[in-house]
Amino acid sequence: MGRKVSVLGAGSMGTAVSVLLAGNGHEVMMWSLFKDEVDMINELREQKEKLPGVIVPESVRCTGDLEESLRFSDICVIAIPAQKVRENMKAVASVNRYRPSVISCFSKGLEKDTGLRMSEVIREELPDATVVAMSGPCHAEELSKGIPTAYVAASGSRKAAEMIQDIFMSPMFRVYTNPDIIGVELGGAIKNVIALCAGISDGLGYGDNTKAALMTRGLAEMSRLGCAIGAKKQTFSGLAGIGDLIVTCTSMHSRNRRAGILIGKGMPVDKAMEEVKMVVEGVYTTVPVYNLSKKYGVRMPITAEAYAVLFEGKDPGSAVSALMNRDRTCEHEAKDLDDNWR
């Protein structure tokens, strides 16, 4: 039976999610801060700027009135840039009569100033809400066209995760549940940093070998930090880890990879972000990931070089040389191998 769902955000992912939910038989009330987006969705039935050619069904409506959207349903989907989540959750909290009970969050990243995951940010502003973090290999451009993929719904509440799983599951969008919300959110955030680096590698003219090595060692960094914070190692071998990493590092739909290519070709970081014309989460997320690596004493050389390139003006080619010329070491942690040497 169809449900009513509120979707905050009318950009590419908000629109794609709304199209998916409508296809599953649900009624959707989107919300946008921008009047031109509201009018575009309601009058043209299309997000012409970010998802041209994708028709938005009539069962999807868009409003500029946050209270109207929240009044529509107690299930709320967040599809806004990670660095805007807190201010929007403050706005949601101010609507006292219509606070959502379950929040499904598609925003991937860490808050720049605090290093908090999105579920932590949401819970600080809406402590009574149950958060389900959504992550996996999924570009809005493909999701909106019904191209098959698989995703993860992660929460400390099995009931909430399975409810969101049921709402989103379709013949073209398979959803798995996972109790490891820490690992799922960290995977979705850190892969943006590695994707920026993959783009820089492409921009420098390096090949497939380089990118494969970068992705593999990036996954090792992701797993090391995640486990230090409390995530489960197996999460990073799943859809929210290696799955999301692969698609973000290799696809031209990836704004992080596209920005990285421009940086690798010599374009200043701020200009590269302007050229992409969409939020490049990896630039903002590099700061808290770098800080967390220091806080937890985790070796993350790729992240450290990304930080140096993005915020200290280091030449990307010099960063690659620094990575390649580090002291030799074993591929895996010594504690995992001590009993295997002869």
Q: What is the pLDDT of residues 124-178, one digit of tens each?
A: 999 999 999 999 999 999 999 999 999 999 999 999 999 999 999 999 999 999 9
Q: What residue ranges of the chain are covered by domains with CATH 1.10.1040.10?
A: 187-336
Distance CA 164, CA 132 (A): 8
| CATH superfamily, region 187-336 | N-(1-d-carboxylethyl)-l-norvaline Dehydrogenase; domain 2 (1.10.1040.10)
Who contacts 99 (Cβ-Cβ below 8 Å, separation ≥6)? Answer: 70, 92, 93, 126, 128, 129
Which of helix, strand or coil describes residue 27?
Answer: strand
pTM: 0.94
pLDDT of residue 150: 98
pLDDT of residue 128: 95
Over residues 299-308, the mean pLDDT reads: 97
Q: Using DSSP bridges, classify how beta strands 130-135 and 149-154 pair: parallel, antiparallel or unpaired.
A: antiparallel
**Known catalytic residue at 265:** no
Q: Which of 50, 108, 191, 211 is catalytic?
A: 191
Distance CA 85, CA 107 (A): 8
Indicate if the pLDDT at residue 114 is higher than 70.
Answer: yes
Q: CB of 307 within 8 A of CB of 290?
A: yes
Considering the chain, what is the average pLDDT of its residues?
95
DSSP annotation of 40 reads I
- What are φ and ψ of residue 152, in 5° steps? -125, 135
Helices (H), 95-178: 118-125, 140-143, 158-168
Neighbours of 293 (CB within 10 A): 20
pLDDT of residue 14: 97
Q: What residue ranges of the chain are covered by domains with CATH 3.40.50.720?
A: 4-179
Which of helix, strand or coil describes residue 147?
Answer: coil
Per-residue pLDDT band at 340 (split at 50, 70, 90):
low
- Cα angle 62-68-71, degrees, rounded to a multiple of 5: 120
**Across the beta sheet with 149-154, what order do the strands follow?**
60-63, 27-31, 4-8, 75-78, 102-105, 130-135, 149-154, 173-178
pLDDT of residue 336: 59
Over residues 279-291, the mean pLDDT reads: 95
Q: Indicate the helix (H) or strand (E) that contains 319.
A: helix 316-324
> pLDDT by residue (tens digit) across 226-280?
999 999 999 999 999 999 999 999 999 999 999 999 999 999 999 999 999 888 9
Indicate if the pLDDT at residue 337 is higher than 70.
Answer: no
Distance between alpha carbon 251 and the CA centroid of its chain, in Å?
15
Distance CA 166, CA 21 (A): 11
pLDDT of residue 335: 62
Give 68-71 contacts, CB < 8 A, sequence gap 24+: 68/29, 68/31, 69/6, 69/7, 69/8, 69/29, 69/30, 69/31, 70/6, 70/95, 70/98, 70/99, 70/100, 71/97, 71/98
| CATH superfamily, region 4-179 | NAD(P)-binding Rossmann-like Domain (3.40.50.720)
Which of helix, strand or coil describes residue 156?
Answer: coil
- What are φ and ψ of residue 288, in 5° steps? -65, -35
Which token pair is 81?
């840039």
DSSP E strands, 193-278: none
